[in-house]
Amino acid sequence: MKKRILFIINPISGAASKARIPEAIEAYLDHDQYEYRIVETKYAGHAATIARDASVEGVDVVVAIGGDGTVNEVARGIVHSNTALGIIPCGSGNGLARHLLLPLNVRKCIEIINRYEVHDLDYGIINEYPFFCTCGVGFDAFVSQKFAEAGKRGPITYLQKILEEGTKYKPETYEVDADGISTNYKAFLISCANASQYGNNAYIAPQASMSDGLMDIVIMEPFDILEAPQIAIDMFSKTLDMSSKIKSFRTRYLHIHRSHPGVIHYDGEPVMTGEDIDVRIEENGIKIIVNPDGDKRQRQPNMLQTTTCELFNDLSAIRHDVFSQTRRGVRLVKLIQRMIERNLPGLN
């Protein structure tokens, strides 16, 4: 019998039109192997409901067509089931797709779906919110909140929020309990990584694996303005784990206590929660169609990473002003945006 496959399209994710994706599915999907349906989401959370219903009906594959938020919704609807997740990345960051070395090309992703190589992989839960790439507390959660409030998507907006909010954010002291050992850290952020990156090839945990039953915990210590560009370079060049500002370890479960309620994020989605944060890994909790030809261990920095590193190096002479709250600082933020748009076409 043919496998049943459901494609869930989020029409408003990312910036690119998805109007031609249905005809690509019709043209390139293996019709001898699959019978398919396509549905579009109508509201936030709709993809999770559709995916959950499909899983109950015994659909073999549910494909998320959208960004990391859409992937998270579809994935959480099918965890601990026999339904496999497929991904056609069409968002701003595409963190999970990039970690899995899926191509950012609709036809090539459909061809991978045709090959139907399914692996049982891990996912995580933070205060009962499932995540598949990363979750965390601190500056990344703070920026996720500002990014959500901005309305406009895309990596340029995300970078703008980092530059605008960088000097406003005050590191906090957290009590971190892992494996029965409690330690206090003053931290810029604490990230719990099931996969290696936030998206856009920004690697917060370069060695993270989705098949080891563990989370990579990354604690970034406070740093000064002079150190900020190097941290960005390390993140894009997959060397952040070598930074002196990073403390990292692996664990199945983590408890974080902070002095007051605040924002956390799961796969870039911000949510307000209390002083206590519990994070755990669900080993082999989701089936995902993977790229049979992907080899993360031999992955080299791509053009986006290389160009971004060069850009930050070129800007090192003005890094004091980038983070200042002066009129000159604001002008420099706009300058950086123009430089990135010129060096990295198509990011908006």
Could you read off the pLDDT of 138-149 as tens digits, one per residue? 988 888 777 666
What is the model's pTM? 0.82
In the chain, the percentage of residues whose pLDDT exceeds 90 is 63
From residue 13, alpha-carbon distances to 18, 42, 153 in Å are 9, 12, 8
**pLDDT at residue 220 tops 80:** yes
Residue 157: which pLDDT band, with cuts at 50, 70 and 90?
A: low
**β-bridge mates for residue 255, sequence order:** 177, 278
So what's the pLDDT on residue 183?
Answer: 95
- Rounded to an integer, what distance in angstroms lies between the CA atom of residue 341 and that of residue 348? 8
The full set of domain ranges for the chain reads: 3-116, 123-277+298-348
| CA-wise closest residue to 235 among 288, 153, 312, 344 | 312
The verdict on domain 3-116 having CATH code 3.40.50.10330 is: yes
Q: Which of 151-155, 192-196, 210-214, 285-289 has the lowest mean pLDDT?
A: 151-155
Residue 228: which pLDDT band, with cuts at 50, 70 and 90?
A: confident
Q: Among all chains, which residue has been given the structure tokens 């060397």?
A: 239
So what's the pLDDT on residue 143?
Answer: 80
So what's the pLDDT on residue 109?
Answer: 97
Three-state SS letters, the chain: CCEEEEEEECCCCCCCCCCCHHHHHHHHCCCCCEEEEEEECCCCCHHHHHHHHHHHCCCCEEEEEECHHHHHHHHHHHCCCCCEEEEEECCCCCHHHHHCCCCCCHHHHHHHHHHCCEEEEEEEEECCEEECCEEEEEHHHHHHHHHHHHCCCCHHHHHHHHHHHCCCCCCEEEEEEECCEEEEEEECEEEEECCCEEECCEECCCCCCCCCCCEEEEEECCCCHHHHHHHHHHHHCCCHHHCCCEEEEEECEEEEECCCCEEEEECCEEEEECCEEEEEEEEEEEEEECCCCCCHHHCCCCHHHHHHHHHHHHCHHHHHHHCCCCHHHHHHHHHHHHHHHHHCCCCC
Q: Which of 73-82, 122-131, 245-254, 292-301 has the lowest mean pLDDT?
A: 292-301
- Rounded to an integer, what distance in angstroms lies between the CA atom of residue 282 and that of residue 295? 23
**pLDDT at residue 326 tops 80:** no
**pLDDT at residue 154 tops 60:** no
Same fold, 3-116 and 123-277+298-348: no
- Rounded to an integer, what distance in angstroms lies between the CA atom of residue 87 and that of residue 68? 10
Q: What is the chain's mean pLDDT, rounded?
A: 84
**pLDDT at residue 25 tops 70:** yes
**β-bridge mates for residue 172, sequence order:** 187
**pLDDT at residue 300 tops 90:** no
| CA-wise closest residue to 74 among 98, 53, 58 | 53
Across 4-24, average pLDDT: 89
- What's the CATH fold of domain 123-277+298-348? Tumour Suppressor Smad4 (2.60.200)
Quick one: how far is CA 147 from the chain centroid? 14
Residue 338: which pLDDT band, with cuts at 50, 70 and 90?
A: low
